[in-house]
Amino acid sequence: MANNKAAVNFDKLLGDESQDFKTVQILDETGQVVNPDIMPDLSDEQLVELMKQMVWSRVLDQRATALNRQGRLGFYAPTAGQEASQLASNFAMNKDDFLFPGYRDVPQLVQHGLPLSQAFLWSRGHIEGNKYPESLKAMPPQIIIGAQYIQAMGVAVGMKKRQSKNAVYVYTGDGGTSQGDFYEGINFAGAFKAPAIFVVQNNGFAISVPREKQTAAVTLAQKGVAAGIPAIQVDGMDPLAVYEVMKEARDFTTAGNGPVLIETLTYRYGPHTLSGDDPTRYRTKETDDIWLKRDPLVRMRRFLTNKGLWSEDQENELIDQVKAAIKEAINEADAIPKQKVTDFLKVTFEEQPQNIQEQITEYSAKESN
């Protein structure tokens, strides 16, 4: 006999889970404003500044790639394609907000105050790259996927205890949302009602594994539901939408309402890193082309040009300035003396135990030869 009982309609539940997660967009692919009601409250100067930062990042990506090929930079994770997701989100934050970047988020770190020469030293594997002044509210790029989420939560809980008016913002990728630390971070922050903005830059691939293989969830934003925190998906190729959502998230969280989760839909044009990754093994040219048409610089350039705020000459002049600044930063990095093992030994503990003291003597002798 057939069992017709149905206490639960699982098919319907499955369909309902993602229905509230629509993608916020303001500028479409052609640079037209499609959502004028939510236009950011930015002056012409600020709009131009945001564009300048994205152009800076694109040029930096090209130069960093070339410098890596020449052996003048070390580890590098390309950023082209993610400029709106990275720079427009950062643009909504304050200098006293605390930034936790992933390894691809060097552009935000530099815009937040890290000298470019130090970013280059970090890439080369030099300790001077990570000596942050107390005034720089950031940690160096996190390598362990997800670890930055729980630490960001910790700073946010601390800010709340200090009754600070600032917020923490932290980045991971689509793959990062599969980590336990992703959930522990958003869950603790929700439970403590801490001022944190958790950004997931969904660029479609965790190295080679496509987004749909990470989870059965239709959106990554909906993962916020389980933690009881508000979450939203935004067109990550649209700088104005990313900025506006981030700005509103900052207002919400700094008002004491608890954390926010933001999923940006974006794409990296280049490989995962320059350490041997070949995207043609896992992505098609057709997919690349779809995303290239959504380029954040193209749509912002059209938008600003239509407003009479941007020109080709202006952009070319900026590109030359950025190249000059990069050259100068490389020269500064080159001028930093070689690091010593004794330097590491001296900073591993504040108070040096016996083994460290002995090894300082040993390596001082080795390094003075």
Partner 1 sequence: MAQKTMIQAITNALDLELASDENVLIFGEDVGKNGGVFRATEGLQAKHGEERVFDTPLAESGIGGLSIGLALEGFRPVPEIQFFGFVFETLDSIAGQMSRTRYRMGGTRNMPITIRAPFGGGVHTPEMHSDNFEGMITQIPGIRVVVPSNPYDAKGLLIAAIRSNDPVLYLEHMKLYRSFREEVPDESYTVPLDKAAVTLEGSDVSIITYGAMVREAKKAAENLAKDNISVEIIDLRTIAPLDIKTIIASVEKTGRVVIVQEAQKQAGVGAQVASEISERAVLSLEAPIGRVSAPDTPFPFGQAESTWLPNATDIENKVKEVINF
What residues are labeled active site? 268, 272, 282
Q: Is 153 one of the binding residues for partner 1 (CB under 8 A)?
A: yes
Residue 156: name the closest of 146, 164, 168 by CA.
168
- Whole-angstrom Cα distance, residue 97 to residue 324? 29
Kindly tell me which residue out of 46, 208, 348, 364 binds partner 1, with binding defined by CB under 8 A: 348
246-272 burial, b for 16+ CB within 10 Å, e for fewer?
Answer: bbbbbebbbeeebbbbbbbbbbbbbbb
- Whole-angstrom Cα distance, residue 223 to residue 89? 20
Q: How many residues bind partner 1 (CB under 8 A)?
A: 45
**Quick one: how far is CA 191 from the chain centroid?**
24
Q: How far is the CB of 352 from partner 1 (least distance, A)?
A: 9
Q: What is the DSSP string of 72-130?
A: S-------TT-HIIIIIHHHTS-TTSEEE-BTT-HHHHHHHT--HHHHHHHHHT-GGGG
| Sites for partner 1 among residues 161-190 (CB under 8 A) | 161-162, 168, 180-181, 184-185, 187-188
Kindly tell me which residue out of 27, 60, 93, 139 binds partner 1, with binding defined by CB under 8 A: 139
Site string for partner 1, 187-206 (x = CB under 8 A): xx--x---------------
Q: How far is the CB of 141 from partner 1 (least distance, A)?
A: 11
Site string for partner 1, 302-341 (x = CB under 8 A): ----------------------------------------
Q: What 3-state DSSP class applies to 231? A: strand
Closer residue to partner 1, CB minimum distance, 27 or 170: 170
Binding residues (CB under 8 A) for partner 1: these are: 98, 127-128, 130-134, 139-140, 144, 147, 149-159, 161-162, 168, 180-181, 184-185, 187-188, 191, 343-344, 346-351, 353-356
